[in-house]
Structure 1
Amino acid sequence: MVRGINKTDIFRDDQDRVNFLQRLGGNIIETKSSVYAWVLMSNHVHILFKSGQKGISTVMRKLLTWYAIYFNRRHKRSGHLFENRYKSILCEEDRYLLALIRYIHLNPIRAGNVRDVETLNTYPWSGHSAVMGKSKCQWMDTEYVLAQFGTKKKAARKAYRRFTEEGVNIKYGSELTGGGLIRSLGGWSQVLSMRRKGQKGEFDERILGEGDFVHNILKEAEEKEIRQLRIRFSGKSITDIIKEECKKRQVSVKELKGGSRRNKVSQTRALIAYRSIEELGLSTAEIARHLGVATSTVTRAIARGEKLNNA
């Protein structure tokens, strides 16, 4: 996320927005990165992307340095434009990708800039319109986003829109700042700098942060992975979890995998998805294959399963 200093506007008109997007697109293509969601607000920007070999810092540094110079010259101002450095978050893709896409694209509705999802479909300053096929954004990986909702584009767009509409009334909080989302304190450049200097510090390329922070995250992750490995080595598989939950809730495996939306079946599917993540550490794609549903369905099922498990 990029925010204007003291929350001041970083876009004064559409020309500013167009130029920002053009430069962003050029940097994304140049670094072979992939953008999955984005939105331009008056005083801040959200971008969800998978960085290429040069890392997130290269893309953002070039973009923000150029834009600050351009903005100051055009609007005859001086001084800093952005608040400190950009804030970045490492996203656990399987579990949080779709939730983040929805959260980012719904920003204009939450801010009152757009009335509803129907209007958002053609809103030019959000990646949502590109996913819906209403605008072109060559540097955005809309194909990857739609693939999370189905193999046929028309049906996938319908499922994506339904998923987005379901998020309109959701109150977002800690679920998008904890768990698999880890705040970046330094970025790839700092990690690589430490390596070049031969400095010793506990870090992991999946996690961005200082030593003590990374140590705690790695310790928690290691304990969880060990527990999951022990369960898998015992011979337990998702097939066993499916059988256990179906027997417990008196639901047939055939109905479960047939896509039934009956409440008891949906609850069973949700618990299986949650247990498969927690006990076996499976990816949402693998769980989806075993349950005969789309990846987006599994993402929602995991959240529901967690609530049912903790009830």
Structure 2
Amino acid sequence: KEKYNIGIFCYCLMDNHYHLLIRTPLGNLTKTMHYLNASYTNWVKAKQDMVGPVFQGRYKSILIEDESYLLTLSSYIHLNPLRADMVDKLEDYKYNSFNEYIDKLDYEIVDKDFILRKFENIEAYKDFIYEWYDENRGIDKEEIYGMNGLLGSKRFVEKIIKKIGEDKDKKKLEEYSNVNINPIKKEDIEKLMIKTFDIKKEKLYKKSYGNDYRNMFIYLLKKYTGMKLIEIGELFNIRYTSVSMKTKRFKEKSKSDKGLNKKKSKIEDVIKNNV
């Protein structure tokens, strides 16, 4: 970290590969990765008394737009051992920065405060990670690890493609931008809901029985913005734990209510087309 002035947010060492979520303010990713892989290779060879390469091929990297996507990738990275059926609980896997986040290990490797500041406490982050697993949310590796290596909004992708002189074809732009979470502001979703459903702003916040627009708004804020659960809770005068509960109930209801599901699909299409 000190040698190349990088920030390490997450890591996970698997049986035949590893994941890193890092920040390189000096733009020295190539030098950093070369040093890391070379150092580890030399250590393994000396310890195992072996010859030949340890790693196969070059590392794969993703350029991330901003911190709105850190939560997405921290979940993806930390859940690797669980999704690979290597453990029953993430707490049982010691080669993963998840245990540093929940204060079970203290290697002082990761800059965990940068992500944890989005949550009220450590338990809230832990719940967030397991919720991703329970809902089977994730990232399509083929779309990210393919020829593009970009994770961000269409505006961000278009800017990067223009800067590096890549093909700006609309179809490829869609491939670059095909991710599950689009970081947009609360005000954007608010305006889009009001316009799409021809309703007043008060309808989005009014607490009343059967007000699906309010629960839909909470669901959309949680899914598409980088807002903390506690921030969403304060917005609607509810506890942060109720945010996840209301989101879950809304999704369950939309599965059985065709009319509500149609509205949900409509507004999500509008949001994705306006990012």
Q: Does 1:158 align with 2:123?
A: yes
Deviation at 1:80, TM superposition (A): 1.4
**1:164 aligned partner, one-letter code:** I
Alignment correspondent of 2:257: none
**2:149 aligned partner, one-letter code:** R
Measured in 1, the distance between the counterparts of 2:103 and 2:206 equals: 34
Measured in 2, the distance between the counterparts of 1:142 and 1:85 equals: 27
Deviation at 1:143, TM superposition (A): 0.6
Q: Equivalent residues in 2 for 1:246-285 (5 A)?
A: 248=199, 252-255=203-206, 264-271=213-220, 284=226
Contact 2:10 2:78 in 1 (8 A): yes
Could you say if the C-alpha distance between residues 307 and 212 of structure 1 is closer, same or farther in structure 2, counting changes exceeding 3 Å? same
Measured in 2, the distance between the counterparts of 1:205 and 1:237 equals: 21
Could you say if the C-alpha distance between residues 131 and 73 of structure 1 is closer, same or farther in structure 2, counting changes exceeding 3 Å? same
Deviation at 1:110, TM superposition (A): 1.4
Measured in 2, the distance between the counterparts of 1:123 and 1:216 equals: 43
Percent identity over paired residues: 21
What whole-Å deviation, never above 9, does each CA across 1:115-151 have from its counterpart, x for those lacking one? 02xxx2353210111111111132311111111223x
Could you say if the C-alpha distance between residues 108 and 75 of structure 1 is closer, same or farther in structure 2, counting changes exceeding 3 Å? same
Measured in 2, the distance between the counterparts of 1:307 and 1:237 equals: 15
Contact 1:37 1:105 in 2 (8 A): yes
Contact 2:190 2:217 in 1 (8 A): no
**2:203 aligned partner, one-letter code:** S
**2:60 aligned partner, one-letter code:** K
Task: State TM-score, norm by structure 1.
Answer: 0.57
Q: How many residue pairs get matched?
A: 227
Alignment correspondent of 1:85: 58
Measured in 2, the distance between the counterparts of 1:109 and 1:73 equals: 31
Alignment correspondent of 2:268: 309
What whole-Å deviation, never above 9, does each CA across 1:36-94 have from its counterpart, x for those lacking one? 21111111101111113142112111010111122122212211111111110112334
Could you say if the C-alpha distance between residues 239 and 105 of structure 1 is closer, same or farther in structure 2, counting changes exceeding 3 Å? closer
Measured in 2, the distance between the counterparts of 1:207 and 1:50 equals: 20
Specify every segment of 5 or more residues in structure 1 that has no aligned partner in the other structure, as ranges: 1-27, 151-155, 185-202, 225-235, 278-282
What whole-Å deviation, never above 9, does each CA across 1:248-286 have from its counterpart, x for those lacking one? 389635447xxx9x7542213345788xx7xxxxx7359
Q: Does 1:114 align with 2:80?
A: no
SS of residue matched to 1:37: strand
Q: Equivalent of 1:135, from 101, 105, 110?
A: 105
What value does the CA root-mean-square deviation take over the aligned residues?
Answer: 4.6
Contact 2:12 2:78 in 1 (8 A): yes
Task: State TM-score, norm by structure 2.
Answer: 0.63
